[in-house]
Amino acid sequence: MRRPTKTLILGVALLLTAVVGLGSCSSALRVQAADGDTPIRIAFVPKVAGIAYFDAMNAGGLAAAKQLGVEWLTRGPATVDPADQTTIVKDLVAKHVDVIAVAPNDPEALAPAIADARAHGVHVLTTDTDAPQTQREVFVNQASANGIGTALVDALMAKTGGTGKFAIVSCGRTAANLNAWISVEQSYAAQRYPKAQLTEIVYAGEDTTTATELAKQVLDRHPDLTGLIGECTTSAPGVAQAVRDQQKIGRVYTVGTGTPQTMKPYLLDGSCSMSVLWNVESLGYLTAWAGQQLALGRSFGPSNNVSLELPAVKYDARAKTMLLGDPLLITQDNVDQFKY
C-alpha cells in the first residue's frame, strides 16, 4: 500500500483545522445572535386567524418590532380547535424561534406543548388569555377580570334600569379570560343588581354568524329578555346583529367587547349601547416588548416604562402578570378615535 505523502498529510491537517474553525465560527455566531446581532424572533399565536381583534394586536406587535429591532411573525390557527394551536406551537419550536406569545384556546390542552417549548429553550408568554397552570413565564393581561366584568354589567344595567332578564353569548367554553369575566359578571350582578336575572350562557366559538344565530334563539326562548352581553370580539357584533334583525332595538340592549370599527354601525343605530375594550394595538405592542425582555434575560419591575404611550405598566411578580391598564368605554361619541 502506498504511504501517504507529506503533502497529503498537510492537506488533511489543514482540513481538520478548517472544520474545527468552522465549529468555532458557529459558536461565535450563536453568541452574536444572543447579543442581538441577529434579531430576536417572536412568534404570535392568536386564538384564531382572520378576525379584527387579533389583526389589531398583530399591528401593534409589528409596530413594536420595528421600534425595538426584533422580528415579529404571526401564526394563527384556522379554527379554535385546541389541537390546531398545539400543532403550531410545536412547529414554531422546531423552527427555533426565540419567543412564543400565545393566546390559548384551551390552557389545559396547550400545557404539554408549552412545557416542551420551555424544555427546548424557547421562551413562552401568554397574552390576551392566560394559562396560569402551565410553564408560561409571564401573562400580558389587557385589563383585570374585575374591571371588565363590572364595566360590562354596569353598562347594560344603565340601559335596563338595573332590572330585567339578560343572557351572555360567549366564545370558547375553555377560554380562561372569558370565563373569569363571566364569573365576575355573575357575582357582581347578583350583588349589585338583585332585580336583574341572568337567564343563560351560550357559547359560539369565535364565529360571529354562530353568535348571531344563538342570540336569536335566546331571544326566542325568552321573549321578555331585556339585555345581551357579547363576551368576546366576535359575539359582541353577533348579539347586536340579532337585536337588529329581530327589530328589537330600544327593547333589548346589548353591550360587549367588540373592536371599535366593527361595533361602530351598531353603536350608531343603538343595537349596541357600549363596547368595553382596551387599546388592542397597545396590547400587541406590550406583548412584543415583554417577549424581547424574556429573550434578553431581563426581569420586570413593579412599574415598567415600555414606551411613551405605556410609561408605567404594572407587573405582579407573584402572579407573573403584566397589566396593560383599565378598560376603555367605547360609545358612538368616541368610536372614531380608534382606527381598528
Are 250 and 226 within 8 A, CB to CB? no
Give the dihedral of Cα atoms 325, 329, 332, 338; nearest 10 deg: 10
Q: Phi, psi at residue 328, to the nearest 5°? A: -95, 145
Rounded-to-integer distance, Cα 31 and Cα 118, Å = 20
Give the burial string for 62-100 (b: 16+ CB within 10 Å, else e). Answer: bbbbeebebebbbbbbeebebebbbebbeebbeeebbbb
CATH architecture of 41-142+280-325: 3-Layer(aba) Sandwich (3.40)
The per-residue pLDDT for 1 is 38
Query: Residue ranges per domain, the chain?
Result: 41-142+280-325, 145-277
pTM: predicted TM-score of the whole model, two decimal places: 0.85
User: Each residue's pLDDT tens digit in the chain (340 positions)?
Assistant: 334 443 333 343 333 333 333 332 222 222 233 344 789 999 999 999 999 999 999 999 999 999 999 999 999 999 999 999 999 999 999 999 999 999 999 999 999 999 999 999 999 999 999 999 999 999 999 999 999 999 999 999 999 999 999 999 999 999 999 999 999 999 999 999 999 999 999 999 999 999 999 999 999 999 999 999 999 999 999 999 999 999 999 999 999 999 999 999 999 999 999 999 999 999 999 999 999 999 999 999 999 999 999 999 999 999 999 999 999 999 999 999 998 9
The per-residue pLDDT for 37 is 72
Alpha carbon distances (Å) from 262 to 113, 165, 315: 33, 26, 31
Examine domains 41-142+280-325 and 145-277 and report if their fold is the same: yes
For the domain made up of 145-277, give the CATH fold: Rossmann fold (3.40.50)
